[in-house]
Amino acid sequence: VQLQASGGGLVQPGGSLRLSCAASRSISKFEKMGWYRQAPGNQRELVAGITFGGSTNYADSVKGRFAISRDNAKNTVHLQMSSLKLEDSAVYYCNIRGTGVRWEYEAGYWGQGTQVTVSS
């Protein structure tokens, strides 16, 4: 499967961005999708994940500010980011993996990454 991410860019602190990720095939009910990010010098970390049925996981640092959603009919997943902070700056990656694969693992398929820069 190929994942095409879009929607990154430059935004001021407190602003909003919406990332989208489109998969090249239908998403199985046995798969979950997520967004990860990697800032320079840091390991890639889970930002938010969502199962086929809509159950979500969020990193503590983004709870209440970010919202993940998916459209199974369109094979897409979105990440609505609000109240952005300087520390949210990173390359954001879309991911798809089996439902039983832990989010902590570097696993599944990855999109090409999209840069999010929060700066005044």
| Residue 61, CA distances (Å) to 5, 64, 102 in order | 22, 9, 19
- Distance between the two ends of the chain, CA-based, in angstroms? 37
**pLDDT value for 51:** 94
Q: How far is CA 45 from the centre of its chain?
A: 10
> What distance in Å separates the CA atoms of residue 73 and residue 91, rounded to the nearest whole number?
27
90 C-beta neighbours (distance < 10 Å), count: 22
**pLDDT value for 33:** 96
CA angle 43, 93, 14 (to 5 degrees): 90
pLDDT in tens, 54-105: 999 999 999 999 999 999 889 999 999 999 999 999 999 999 999 999 999 9
Pairing mode, strands 9-11 and 114-118: parallel
**pLDDT value for 72:** 86
Given a cut of 90, is residue 9 above it in pLDDT? yes
**pLDDT value for 25:** 93
**pLDDT value for 39:** 96
> What distance in Å separates the CA atoms of residue 40 and residue 116, rounded to the nearest whole number?
12
> What distance in Å separates the CA atoms of residue 8 and residue 6, rounded to the nearest whole number?
6
